[in-house]
Amino acid sequence: MIARASVQFLPQHRHTLFFAIMKISQSLAFDLLAQKELPFLELFKYGNLTVEIYQPELEDHQMPHTRDEVYIIASGTGRFQLGMAEMDFKTGDFLFVPAFEPHRFIAFSEDFATWVLFIGPEGGAAQQNRIKKIW
């Protein structure tokens, strides 16, 4: 199920599907997720972007995905395992996971939840070698 969300149209494009702002509040995402039995809910799709909210209970049972993935931590703290590496995370952190890479959240707080953004083509963008660390 994809949630309904507020969309504001530009005045000059009122009769088309061109939109200026797409907003899904965190509280709406949590409310919709609470109505489901699964720990995740797909909220938005556009082109090669899919947005979900994810809130596992006690354990993260994810398997590797076929697309590149971004997590933006919505609430909580814990540790994240990517391949053989482990790192701490907290609210507001950004985590990137290449397609097919084993990963999971471990030792996370009870209030842990994250936005999930699947991006790019099936198989991931690694073959394009375009990952850049900028700062």
pLDDT of 110 reads 96
Instruction: Note the pTM of the prediction, 2 decimals.
Output: 0.79
Domains located in the chain, CATH noted: 21-125 (2.60.120.10)
Return d(Cα 116, Cα 69) in angstroms, integer: 7
pLDDT of 13 reads 44
**Other CB atoms closer than 10 Å to residue 15's CB: what's the count?**
7
- CA separation, residue 118 to residues 49, 66, 94 (Å): 6, 9, 13
With a cut of 50, list the residues of the chain below it in pLDDT.
1-10, 12-20
- CA separation, residue 105 to residues 39, 79, 96 (Å): 13, 6, 13
